[in-house]
Amino acid sequence: MLTRALFASVLIVGLAVVFELVPPMLDETAAESSAQGDVKLIAFGVTVHEVTAEELEKSTPLPVPRFNTPAMAYVWVANLKKGDVVKIALKGGEAIVARNEATLEADTPTFLLLAGKRGVPPGGWPEGTYNAETEILRDGKLVITETTKPMVFE
């Protein structure tokens, strides 16, 4: 009887994790990292509009900019502390098209920062590749640096 009860419990928990009814268990390293409040990159990319945290929570694919649409780089970060610096830049080739930076005034569980163009440059975006770059600094030290894959605004 006990064996059947244990089997049923394992089966139910396993199905719940597979169907995302409960979050999967973290390994010890991830659990320790989370307990220490390490900075975590939740979402990062480039899309055609100003995104919101609510939109990013849905995890639906966002449209990729085209030569005739706006372009907005975004970074959504967790576990930030007072004084942390978050930077985001939209780059065309090696040139910075738009950038934004924020220094946190208080501990913040999540923070979303955007940089980009709400409109389209006259004649559309110049040919070439575009990408987003982000940096997060704590106590003046680089904690996270990420770059998206280069993309062409077709």
Percent of the chain clearing pLDDT 90 (strictly above): 73
On the question of pLDDT at 78 being above 70, the answer is yes
Residue 10: per-residue pLDDT: 38
Print the SS3 string covering the chain: CHHHHHHHHHHHHHHHHHCCCCCCCCCHHHHHHHHHCCCEEEEEEEECCCCCHHHHHCCCCCCCCCCCCCEEEEEEEEEECCCCEEEEEEEECCEEEEEEEEECCCCEEEEEEEEEECCCCCCCCCCCEEEEEEEEEECCEEEEEEECCCEECC
Confidence of residue 63 (pLDDT cuts 50, 70, 90): very high
Residue 20: per-residue pLDDT: 34
Model confidence over 5-61: pLDDT tens digits?
434 443 343 333 333 333 333 233 333 334 346 999 999 999 999 999 999 999 889
CATH of domain 37-152: 2.60.40
Residue 13: per-residue pLDDT: 37
The model's pTM is: 0.75
Model confidence over 107-125: pLDDT tens digits?
999 999 999 999 999 999 9
Residue 59: per-residue pLDDT: 87
Domain spans in the chain, listed from the N-terminal domain onward: 1-36, 37-152
Q: What is the mean pLDDT of the chain?
A: 82
